[in-house]
Chain A
């Protein structure tokens, strides 16, 4: 649960002002971006996602670094991605 996983904003979700669709390693989910409202996020931006919330805006290089490190974690990352995939808070 402590992991921050990098995702790229695909599109804003018009159903709610603080929601956006992000792509994490090919898995697309809606996350809450309200904590980054001062960052004026746009599609294409990268964010660090923690328990369904974008907590930090990052650049693409940082996203790739983080993703590589996470993949090396093995099971802990697998569990996190599985949980991310299963999340259905915004269906």
Chain B
């Protein structure tokens, strides 16, 4: 139990670990944490090593940077290179590789690429540069999409005509359906995402229990939250229940944030389909601007290459994002692919499973092996 000593409340962590061990018994349970923030917490705090062997955590597709396919990055770079365009992006997307390099390379080659903290920063740049076109590279799940929506409502209300959005917003339920329907993955339950659920609430997950017979517990980001949510999943299974529960009720409300959902619906509509890295084309899994906002839609305003590009052969981000393999099982992990020179997206974002494992998990794992707490081979 060396790893729990750095927790806020080591005694509570030990008690939860003991409860999980007792509930898990001699069986083997596989739970997927959907959210990249959870993946980060799990590796940062060595949670895998305080869990009994009866519980295995599988990392899911909930890192919005990681799931953007290469072809969309190529489209972004093409937009950045349009004459007169100021291309704005969150910092995380700057190093995500396209087929011919990333946005940082485009910037070095002369494109005007600027990193912004908020979509409102991008709108401000548009106001300050009336003679230029400003494109915002919008990525993120339902957590982030309302911010883009409010920004677009402001742009329209203020009559700002040189602002465009390249929408790559995605939604969490469609990829969950793909994962639940996937024959190569047997899962016993889910840790539901924290921040996405503050917006969408708990109701959209009901199908997970009702149609697929799997429990889901929405969890907070503290190590104790994760442990408690795992104990709640096991308790459900032991008691023969299958429900959608909320461990993070101090932040997440059953109904989510109705105001955020309303602005989302006002500005965006589902795309027919969208390509996800590793998961392929998923129907209705992303958001595009509604026709009423067509003047702000970068995809309508510019000619984009729009070419689907397969991932580099060596890269196994797809399998990592589906939870089929662990980061360290990828052939290029930690050798050709590192946070400094990422080949795949999972190594770029701090919430990506590979980067989280590279930065923290390795040390915990090596320490755990040294302490004889776990076997060096993948579970």
A37 touching B92, Cβ below 8 Å: no
A48 touching B251, Cβ below 8 Å: yes
**A67-83 toward B: CB 8 Å interface, digit per residue (1/0)?**
01100110110010001
Give min CB distance, B129 to chain A, whole Å: 14
With most chain B CB atoms within 10 A of its CB, the pick from A1, A4, A84 is A1
- Give chain A's interface secondary structure class: mixed
A53 touching B118, Cβ below 8 Å: yes
CB-nearest residue of chain B relative to A49?
Answer: B118
**In the assembled complex, B351 has its CB within 8 A of some CB on chain A:** yes
Give min CB distance, B340 to chain A, whole Å: 13
On chain A, the residues within 8 Å of B115 by CB distance are 83
Those of A21-62 within 8 Å (CB) of chain B: 32, 34-38, 48, 50-53, 55-56, 58-59, 62
On chain B, the residues within 8 Å of A58 by CB distance are 250-251
On chain B, the residues within 8 Å of A66 by CB distance are 221
Report how far A87 CA is from B146 CA in the complex, Å.
18
Give min CB distance, A13 to chain B, whole Å: 13
**In the assembled complex, B144 has its CB within 8 A of some CB on chain A:** yes
Chain A count of residues within 8 A CB distance of the other chain: 37
On chain B, the residues within 8 Å of A90 by CB distance are 120, 124
Task: Point out the residue from A1, A56, A75 that lies within 8 Å of B144, measured CB to CB.
Answer: A1
The contact size tier of chain B is 35 or more
Choose, from B253-261, B301-309, B317-325, B369-377, the stretch at the interface.
B253-261
A88 touching B259, Cβ below 8 Å: no
CB-nearest residue of chain A relative to B350?
Answer: A76
On chain B, the residues within 8 Å of A56 by CB distance are 195, 198, 251, 257
A53 touching B146, Cβ below 8 Å: yes
- A-B CB contact pairs (8 Å), 30 listed: A1-B139, A1-B144, A2-B143, A3-B37, A32-B120, A32-B147, A34-B150, A35-B147, A37-B259, A48-B195, A48-B198, A50-B144, A51-B90, A51-B119, A51-B147, A52-B119, A55-B146, A55-B198, A55-B260, A56-B195, A56-B251, A58-B250, A62-B250, A65-B8, A72-B44, A87-B117, A87-B118, A88-B121, A88-B124, A90-B124
Q: A55-B195, A55-B198 are in contact. List 7 more A-B contacts (CB 8 A).
A: A1-B64, A1-B140, A50-B147, A55-B143, A87-B116, A89-B118, A89-B121
- Residues of chain A at the chain B interface (Cβ within 8 Å): 1-4, 32, 34-38, 48, 50-53, 55-56, 58-59, 62, 65-66, 68-69, 72-73, 75-76, 79, 83-84, 86-91
